[in-house]
């Protein structure tokens, strides 16, 4: 997956610098040969010294996409501890997402229902914290925070309750969770739980951005 993901990033976001950590020496050599503009490090993703060598604390985002849930989770948490601002983690056991956000994991992906383009979408996102991909291309369940100066602030929840496009499943405001009425207003720092159809995701991302973006 690392090869195709790197190729996708280079194609769609050519100004992004990429580093790959690969445990298998032969695969690391093959990746380095196929990806001329990518730094490939041979090492273990849960080795603190390797993560430091990769300078994960100075990057914009770390994406853990090995075939091992535990390695993905641990490498994400270690990267966070070293200063990585955002981490995206691939996990197949859907029991994990229940506690990963509280540990600092920003985005969670299920390998059963994703494509490379799906991962690229998550790399581009800023305000969306967690996404659960629903089977059958139905859509995604998002946990999203309303940032300062967002276009949504002051708008009614009816804007997000778009017929057959998105549904507000709930909002966390302060320490309270409740299901808002459509005529209530969205406030800064509201934490939203949304069911969004695939065709409406890009529109939602634009709404979550601040007004000066």
82 three-class SS: coil
pLDDT digits (tens, 9 = 90+) for 107-137: 777 766 555 556 666 565 555 555 554 444 4
The CATH T-level fold of domain 133-213 is Alpha-Beta Plaits (3.30.70)
CB hemisphere CA count around 28 (13 angstroms): 14
Distance CA 140, CA 68 (A): 23
Do 111 and 118 meet the contact criterion of CB atoms below 8 Å apart? no
Quick one: pLDDT band at residue 25, thresholds 50, 70, 90? very high
Task: Report domain 1-124's class.
Answer: alpha beta
Q: Residues 21-30: what's their mean pLDDT?
A: 92
Q: Do residues 71 and 46 touch, judged by C-beta distance below 8 A?
A: yes
E strand segments, the chain: 19-22, 39-42, 62-64, 87-90, 107-109, 128-133, 139-145, 166-173, 176-178, 191-197
Q: In what order do the strands lie in the sheet with 87-90?
A: 62-64, 87-90, 107-109
Where do the domains of the chain lie?
1-124, 133-213
- Tens of pLDDT, residue by residue over 162-212, are 766 787 878 888 888 888 888 899 999 898 888 777 777 777 777 777 666
Q: Check residue 177 and give its pLDDT.
A: 82
């Amino acid at each position: 997956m690392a090869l195709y993901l790197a190729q996708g990033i280079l194609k769609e976001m050519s100004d992004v610098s990429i580093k790959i950590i690969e445990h298998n020496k032969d695969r690391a050599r093959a990746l380095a040969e196929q990806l001329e503009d990518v730094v490939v490090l041979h090492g273990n993703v849960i080795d603190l010294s390797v993560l430091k060598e990769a300078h994960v604390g100075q990057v914009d985002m770390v994406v853990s996409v090995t075939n091992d849930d535990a390695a993905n989770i641990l490498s994400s948490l270690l990267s966070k501890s070293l200063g990585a601002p955002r981490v995206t983690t691939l996990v197949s056991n859907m029991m994990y997402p229940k506690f990963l956000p509280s540990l600092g994991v920003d985005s969670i992906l299920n390998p059963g229902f994703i494509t490379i383009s799906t991962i690229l979408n998550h790399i581009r996102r800023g305000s969306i914290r967690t996404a659960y991909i629903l089977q059958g291309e139905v859509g995604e369940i998002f946990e999203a925070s309303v940032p300062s100066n967002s276009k949504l602030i002051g708008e009614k929840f009816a804007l997000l309750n778009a017929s057959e496009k998105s549904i507000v499943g709930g909002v966390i405001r302060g320490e309270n969770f409740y299901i808002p009425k459509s005529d209530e207003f969205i406030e800064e720092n509201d934490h939203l739980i949304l069911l969004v159809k695939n065709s409406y995701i890009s529109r939602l991302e634009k709404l979550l951005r601040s007004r000066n973006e």
